[in-house]
Chains A and B, each alone.
Chain A
Amino acid sequence: MKVRVTITLKAGVLDPQGKAIEGALRGLGFAGIDGARQGKIVDLSLAETDPDKARAAVADMCEKLLANTVIENYDIAILG
Protein backbone atom coordinates (compact mmCIF):
# COMPACT_ATOMS: atom_id res chain seq x y z
CA MET A 1 0.00 0.00 0.00
CA LYS A 2 1.28 3.45 -0.95
CA VAL A 3 0.80 6.20 1.58
CA ARG A 4 1.70 9.86 1.17
CA VAL A 5 2.52 12.03 4.18
CA THR A 6 2.43 15.78 3.67
CA ILE A 7 4.19 17.79 6.36
CA THR A 8 3.60 21.52 6.65
CA LEU A 9 4.53 24.21 9.13
CA LYS A 10 1.77 25.17 11.52
CA ALA A 11 -0.01 28.47 10.96
CA GLY A 12 1.82 31.21 12.86
CA VAL A 13 5.22 29.54 12.57
CA LEU A 14 7.53 31.74 10.53
CA ASP A 15 8.50 30.07 7.25
CA PRO A 16 11.51 31.96 5.88
CA GLN A 17 11.85 29.55 2.96
CA GLY A 18 8.23 30.19 1.97
CA LYS A 19 8.89 33.93 2.26
CA ALA A 20 11.91 33.62 -0.03
CA ILE A 21 9.87 31.65 -2.57
CA GLU A 22 7.13 34.28 -2.42
CA GLY A 23 9.69 37.04 -2.98
CA ALA A 24 11.25 35.19 -5.92
CA LEU A 25 7.87 34.64 -7.56
CA ARG A 26 7.09 38.34 -7.18
CA GLY A 27 10.50 39.09 -8.68
CA LEU A 28 9.52 37.03 -11.73
CA GLY A 29 6.48 39.25 -12.17
CA PHE A 30 3.80 36.88 -10.83
CA ALA A 31 1.07 39.08 -9.37
CA GLY A 32 -1.58 38.38 -6.74
CA ILE A 33 0.44 36.09 -4.48
CA ASP A 34 -0.88 36.32 -0.93
CA GLY A 35 1.63 33.91 0.56
CA ALA A 36 3.78 30.81 0.03
CA ARG A 37 4.46 28.08 2.57
CA GLN A 38 6.94 25.29 1.97
CA GLY A 39 6.40 21.75 3.22
CA LYS A 40 7.64 18.27 2.47
CA ILE A 41 6.25 14.99 1.21
CA VAL A 42 7.24 11.50 2.33
CA ASP A 43 5.93 8.59 0.19
CA LEU A 44 5.84 5.26 1.99
CA SER A 45 5.38 1.76 0.59
CA LEU A 46 3.84 -0.48 3.23
CA ALA A 47 3.19 -4.21 3.41
CA GLU A 48 -0.09 -3.43 5.18
CA THR A 49 -3.18 -3.80 2.94
CA ASP A 50 -5.85 -2.50 5.33
CA PRO A 51 -6.22 1.29 4.83
CA ASP A 52 -7.32 1.97 8.42
CA LYS A 53 -4.41 0.03 9.88
CA ALA A 54 -2.01 1.69 7.45
CA ARG A 55 -3.31 5.11 8.42
CA ALA A 56 -2.93 4.34 12.12
CA ALA A 57 0.60 3.02 11.64
CA VAL A 58 1.65 6.08 9.63
CA ALA A 59 0.09 8.44 12.20
CA ASP A 60 2.31 6.76 14.80
CA MET A 61 5.34 7.24 12.50
CA CYS A 62 4.44 10.92 12.12
CA GLU A 63 4.17 11.44 15.86
CA LYS A 64 7.45 9.64 16.57
CA LEU A 65 9.64 10.83 13.71
CA LEU A 66 8.24 12.19 10.45
CA ALA A 67 6.81 15.43 11.86
CA ASN A 68 7.95 17.68 14.68
CA THR A 69 4.54 18.44 16.13
CA VAL A 70 5.91 21.47 17.97
CA ILE A 71 6.08 23.29 14.65
CA GLU A 72 4.56 20.99 12.01
CA ASN A 73 1.22 19.48 11.00
CA TYR A 74 0.91 16.30 8.97
CA ASP A 75 -1.67 14.93 6.59
CA ILE A 76 -1.93 11.27 5.60
CA ALA A 77 -3.32 10.22 2.23
CA ILE A 78 -3.79 6.60 1.09
CA LEU A 79 -2.67 6.50 -2.53
CA GLY A 80 -3.74 2.84 -3.02
Chain B
Amino acid sequence: MRSAVVLFPGSNRDHDMVKALHSVTGVEPTVVWHQDATIPDVDLIVLPGGFSYGDYLRCGAIAARSPAMLDVARKAKAGVRVLGVCNGFQILTEAGLLPGALMRNAHLRFVCKEVKLEVTNNDTDFTRAYSKGEVIRCPVAHHDGNYFADPETLARLEGEGRVAFRYAEGTNPNGSINDIAGILNETGNVLGMMPHPENLIEALHGGLDGRGLFESVATSVAA
Protein backbone atom coordinates (compact mmCIF):
# COMPACT_ATOMS: atom_id res chain seq x y z
CA MET B 1 0.00 0.00 0.00
CA ARG B 2 1.34 3.40 -1.01
CA SER B 3 0.64 6.32 1.27
CA ALA B 4 1.42 10.01 1.62
CA VAL B 5 1.54 12.22 4.72
CA VAL B 6 0.86 15.93 4.17
CA LEU B 7 3.10 18.20 6.22
CA PHE B 8 1.86 21.63 7.32
CA PRO B 9 3.80 24.28 9.23
CA GLY B 10 3.01 23.28 12.82
CA SER B 11 2.33 19.58 12.17
CA ASN B 12 3.99 17.60 14.95
CA ARG B 13 2.61 14.06 14.71
CA ASP B 14 3.88 13.50 11.18
CA HIS B 15 6.85 11.40 12.32
CA ASP B 16 4.60 9.16 14.41
CA MET B 17 2.30 8.72 11.42
CA VAL B 18 5.18 7.95 9.04
CA LYS B 19 6.52 5.34 11.47
CA ALA B 20 3.10 3.76 11.96
CA LEU B 21 2.45 3.52 8.22
CA HIS B 22 5.91 2.08 7.62
CA SER B 23 5.54 -0.38 10.48
CA VAL B 24 2.18 -1.72 9.32
CA THR B 25 2.53 -1.57 5.52
CA GLY B 26 6.27 -2.10 5.18
CA VAL B 27 6.43 0.82 2.74
CA GLU B 28 7.82 4.24 3.60
CA PRO B 29 5.15 6.90 2.99
CA THR B 30 5.86 9.95 0.85
CA VAL B 31 5.89 13.20 2.82
CA VAL B 32 4.24 16.03 0.89
CA TRP B 33 4.75 19.70 1.74
CA HIS B 34 1.48 21.64 2.00
CA GLN B 35 2.54 24.08 -0.74
CA ASP B 36 2.86 21.25 -3.27
CA ALA B 37 -0.12 21.46 -5.58
CA THR B 38 0.03 17.78 -6.48
CA ILE B 39 -0.05 14.78 -4.22
CA PRO B 40 1.45 11.65 -5.76
CA ASP B 41 -0.83 8.77 -6.72
CA VAL B 42 -1.23 6.81 -3.51
CA ASP B 43 -3.82 4.55 -1.87
CA LEU B 44 -4.04 6.59 1.33
CA ILE B 45 -3.45 10.27 2.07
CA VAL B 46 -2.97 11.15 5.75
CA LEU B 47 -3.29 14.54 7.41
CA PRO B 48 -1.38 14.20 10.69
CA GLY B 49 -1.89 15.84 14.06
CA GLY B 50 -0.33 19.03 15.30
CA PHE B 51 -1.10 22.71 15.39
CA SER B 52 -0.98 23.84 11.76
CA TYR B 53 -0.48 27.60 11.54
CA GLY B 54 -0.56 27.79 15.32
CA ASP B 55 -4.33 27.18 15.29
CA TYR B 56 -4.68 30.80 14.06
CA LEU B 57 -8.21 31.93 13.13
CA ARG B 58 -9.66 28.44 13.84
CA CYS B 59 -7.95 25.07 14.20
CA GLY B 60 -7.18 23.80 10.69
CA ALA B 61 -8.74 26.82 8.95
CA ILE B 62 -5.62 28.10 7.20
CA ALA B 63 -4.22 24.65 6.39
CA ALA B 64 -7.56 23.70 4.81
CA ARG B 65 -6.97 26.37 2.13
CA SER B 66 -3.44 25.27 1.19
CA PRO B 67 -2.57 24.12 -2.36
CA ALA B 68 -2.09 20.50 -1.23
CA MET B 69 -5.60 20.43 0.23
CA LEU B 70 -7.13 21.37 -3.11
CA ASP B 71 -5.57 18.21 -4.52
CA VAL B 72 -6.64 16.20 -1.46
CA ALA B 73 -10.23 17.33 -2.16
CA ARG B 74 -9.94 16.33 -5.82
CA LYS B 75 -8.48 12.93 -4.95
CA ALA B 76 -11.02 12.31 -2.17
CA LYS B 77 -13.77 12.96 -4.69
CA ALA B 78 -12.13 10.45 -7.02
CA GLY B 79 -12.28 7.83 -4.25
CA VAL B 80 -8.78 7.95 -2.77
CA ARG B 81 -8.84 7.10 0.95
CA VAL B 82 -8.05 10.04 3.23
CA LEU B 83 -7.38 9.82 6.98
CA GLY B 84 -7.24 12.92 9.17
CA VAL B 85 -6.13 12.51 12.78
CA CYS B 86 -6.58 15.23 15.41
CA ASN B 87 -5.55 18.45 13.60
CA GLY B 88 -6.04 16.45 10.40
CA PHE B 89 -9.70 15.90 11.39
CA GLN B 90 -10.05 19.63 12.06
CA ILE B 91 -8.55 20.38 8.63
CA LEU B 92 -10.98 17.96 6.93
CA THR B 93 -14.02 19.66 8.50
CA GLU B 94 -12.63 23.10 7.65
CA ALA B 95 -12.05 21.97 4.06
CA GLY B 96 -15.66 20.78 3.83
CA LEU B 97 -14.60 17.17 3.23
CA LEU B 98 -16.36 16.13 6.45
CA PRO B 99 -19.46 17.74 7.97
CA GLY B 100 -19.64 19.53 11.31
CA ALA B 101 -16.93 21.30 13.28
CA LEU B 102 -14.47 20.67 16.11
CA MET B 103 -15.07 23.15 18.92
CA ARG B 104 -13.07 24.06 22.01
CA ASN B 105 -13.23 21.23 24.62
CA ALA B 106 -16.30 21.76 26.80
CA HIS B 107 -14.18 22.02 29.96
CA LEU B 108 -11.73 24.39 28.19
CA ARG B 109 -8.68 22.31 29.11
CA PHE B 110 -6.16 20.61 26.85
CA VAL B 111 -6.55 16.84 27.30
CA CYS B 112 -3.66 14.43 26.94
CA LYS B 113 -4.59 10.94 28.09
CA GLU B 114 -5.81 7.54 27.05
CA VAL B 115 -9.48 6.97 26.27
CA LYS B 116 -11.60 3.97 25.30
CA LEU B 117 -12.98 3.85 21.78
CA GLU B 118 -15.93 1.80 20.64
CA VAL B 119 -15.71 0.64 17.04
CA THR B 120 -19.24 1.77 16.18
CA ASN B 121 -19.07 0.66 12.56
CA ASN B 122 -16.58 -2.02 11.50
CA ASP B 123 -17.92 -2.25 7.96
CA THR B 124 -15.59 0.47 6.64
CA ASP B 125 -12.23 0.56 4.87
CA PHE B 126 -10.70 1.92 8.08
CA THR B 127 -12.19 -0.42 10.67
CA ARG B 128 -12.73 -3.88 9.14
CA ALA B 129 -9.89 -5.44 11.17
CA TYR B 130 -11.88 -4.72 14.33
CA SER B 131 -15.15 -6.31 15.37
CA LYS B 132 -18.34 -4.27 15.72
CA GLY B 133 -18.70 -2.85 19.20
CA GLU B 134 -15.12 -3.76 20.10
CA VAL B 135 -13.61 -1.37 22.62
CA ILE B 136 -10.00 -0.37 22.02
CA ARG B 137 -7.55 1.85 23.86
CA CYS B 138 -6.35 5.03 22.17
CA PRO B 139 -4.57 8.19 23.29
CA VAL B 140 -5.97 11.69 22.73
CA ALA B 141 -4.14 15.02 22.91
CA HIS B 142 -6.13 18.09 21.92
CA HIS B 143 -7.74 21.34 22.96
CA ASP B 144 -10.44 21.48 20.28
CA GLY B 145 -11.98 18.04 19.87
CA ASN B 146 -15.55 18.78 20.84
CA TYR B 147 -17.42 17.56 17.76
CA PHE B 148 -20.48 19.57 16.82
CA ALA B 149 -23.02 19.15 14.03
CA ASP B 150 -26.55 20.46 13.57
CA PRO B 151 -29.37 17.98 14.38
CA GLU B 152 -30.06 17.11 10.72
CA THR B 153 -26.39 16.37 9.99
CA LEU B 154 -26.11 14.37 13.19
CA ALA B 155 -29.18 12.28 12.33
CA ARG B 156 -27.73 11.60 8.88
CA LEU B 157 -24.34 10.56 10.30
CA GLU B 158 -25.97 8.20 12.79
CA GLY B 159 -28.54 6.86 10.33
CA GLU B 160 -25.98 6.14 7.61
CA GLY B 161 -23.50 4.40 9.92
CA ARG B 162 -20.97 7.15 9.43
CA VAL B 163 -19.93 7.31 13.08
CA ALA B 164 -16.87 5.06 12.96
CA PHE B 165 -15.65 5.54 16.52
CA ARG B 166 -17.30 6.67 19.73
CA TYR B 167 -15.76 7.42 23.13
CA ALA B 168 -16.73 4.47 25.34
CA GLU B 169 -17.16 3.71 29.01
CA GLY B 170 -17.62 7.33 30.05
CA THR B 171 -14.26 8.45 28.65
CA ASN B 172 -15.57 11.29 26.41
CA PRO B 173 -12.72 13.75 27.01
CA ASN B 174 -14.12 16.87 25.36
CA GLY B 175 -17.93 17.06 25.45
CA SER B 176 -18.26 15.80 21.87
CA ILE B 177 -21.89 15.38 20.80
CA ASN B 178 -23.14 11.73 20.93
CA ASP B 179 -19.62 10.81 22.18
CA ILE B 180 -18.43 11.03 18.57
CA ALA B 181 -14.69 10.41 18.14
CA GLY B 182 -14.47 9.71 14.40
CA ILE B 183 -16.72 10.12 11.36
CA LEU B 184 -16.77 9.18 7.68
CA ASN B 185 -17.81 11.10 4.60
CA GLU B 186 -20.81 10.04 2.53
CA THR B 187 -18.80 7.68 0.35
CA GLY B 188 -16.83 6.15 3.23
CA ASN B 189 -13.37 6.95 1.85
CA VAL B 190 -12.60 9.88 4.17
CA LEU B 191 -12.23 9.32 7.93
CA GLY B 192 -11.56 12.02 10.50
CA MET B 193 -10.87 11.16 14.14
CA MET B 194 -9.51 13.02 17.17
CA PRO B 195 -7.71 10.06 18.89
CA HIS B 196 -4.25 8.96 17.75
CA PRO B 197 -4.20 5.33 16.51
CA GLU B 198 -0.63 5.92 15.26
CA ASN B 199 0.50 6.02 18.89
CA LEU B 200 -0.47 2.44 19.78
CA ILE B 201 1.41 0.53 17.11
CA GLU B 202 4.35 -1.16 18.82
CA ALA B 203 4.79 -3.09 22.05
CA LEU B 204 6.91 -0.22 23.33
CA HIS B 205 3.87 2.07 23.00
CA GLY B 206 2.16 -0.11 25.58
CA GLY B 207 -0.30 -1.66 23.16
CA LEU B 208 -1.11 -2.51 19.57
CA ASP B 209 -4.71 -1.32 19.48
CA GLY B 210 -4.07 1.25 16.74
CA ARG B 211 -2.61 -1.20 14.23
CA GLY B 212 -6.04 -2.47 13.21
CA LEU B 213 -6.92 0.83 11.57
CA PHE B 214 -3.90 0.80 9.27
CA GLU B 215 -4.27 -2.95 8.67
CA SER B 216 -7.89 -2.34 7.68
CA VAL B 217 -6.87 0.20 5.04
CA ALA B 218 -4.13 -2.10 3.73
CA THR B 219 -6.64 -4.97 3.47
CA SER B 220 -9.16 -2.75 1.70
CA VAL B 221 -6.53 -1.56 -0.78
CA ALA B 222 -5.47 -5.14 -1.51
CA ALA B 223 -9.05 -6.31 -1.99
Q: In the assembled complex, how far is the CB of residue B97 from the closest CB belonging to chain A, in whole angstroms?
A: 13
Residues of B within 8 A of A17 (CB): 104, 108
Which residue of chain B has the shortest Cβ distance to A64 in the bound complex? B65
Q: What sequence of 0s and 1s flags, for each residue 130-159 of chain B, a beta carbon within 8 Å of any chain A beta carbon?
A: 000000000000000010111000000000
Q: In the assembled complex, how far is the CB of residue A62 from the closest CB belonging to chain B, in whole angstroms?
A: 12
Contacts A13-B103, A65-B65, A68-B94 given; 6 further ones with Cβ under 8 A?
Answer: A16-B106, A17-B108, A20-B108, A64-B65, A68-B58, A71-B101
Tell me the A10-55 residues at the B interface (CB within 8 Å).
13-14, 16-17, 20
Binding site of B, secondary structure by majority: helix, strand, loop or mixed?
loop
**B161 in the interface (beta carbon within 8 A):** no
Residues of A within 8 A of B105 (CB): 16
**B57 in the interface (beta carbon within 8 A):** yes
Residues of A within 8 A of B99 (CB): 70
Residues of B within 8 A of A59 (CB): none
Q: How many residues of A contact B (CB 8 A)?
A: 11
Cα separation A70 to B95 with both chains bound (whole Å)? 12
Of all A-B residue pairs in the complex, the 8 with the closest CB atoms, nearest first, are A70-B101, A71-B101, A16-B108, A16-B106, A16-B104, A68-B101, A68-B58, A20-B108
Q: How many residues of B contact A (CB 8 A)?
A: 21
Residues of A within 8 A of B62 (CB): 65
Cα separation A66 to B56 with both chains bound (whole Å)? 11
Residues of A within 8 A of B188 (CB): none
Tell me the B96-132 residues at the A interface (CB within 8 Å).
99-101, 103-108
On whether A71 and B106 interact (CB within 8 A), knowing A14-B175, A65-B65, A66-B57, the answer reads no
Residues of A within 8 A of B106 (CB): 14, 16
A14, A16, A20, A65: which contacts B61 (Cβ < 8 A)?
A65
Contacting pair B65 A71 (CB below 8 A): no
Which residue of chain B has the shortest Cβ distance to A71 in the bound complex? B101
Residues of B within 8 A of A70 (CB): 93, 99-101, 148-150
Tell me the B50-69 residues at the A interface (CB within 8 Å).
57-58, 61-62, 65
Contacting pair B61 A68 (CB below 8 A): yes
Report 16 cross-chain contacts, Cβ distance below 8 Å, ordered by A residue.
Answer: A13-B148, A14-B106, A14-B146, A14-B148, A16-B106, A16-B175, A64-B65, A65-B57, A65-B61, A65-B65, A68-B61, A68-B101, A70-B99, A70-B100, A70-B101, A71-B101
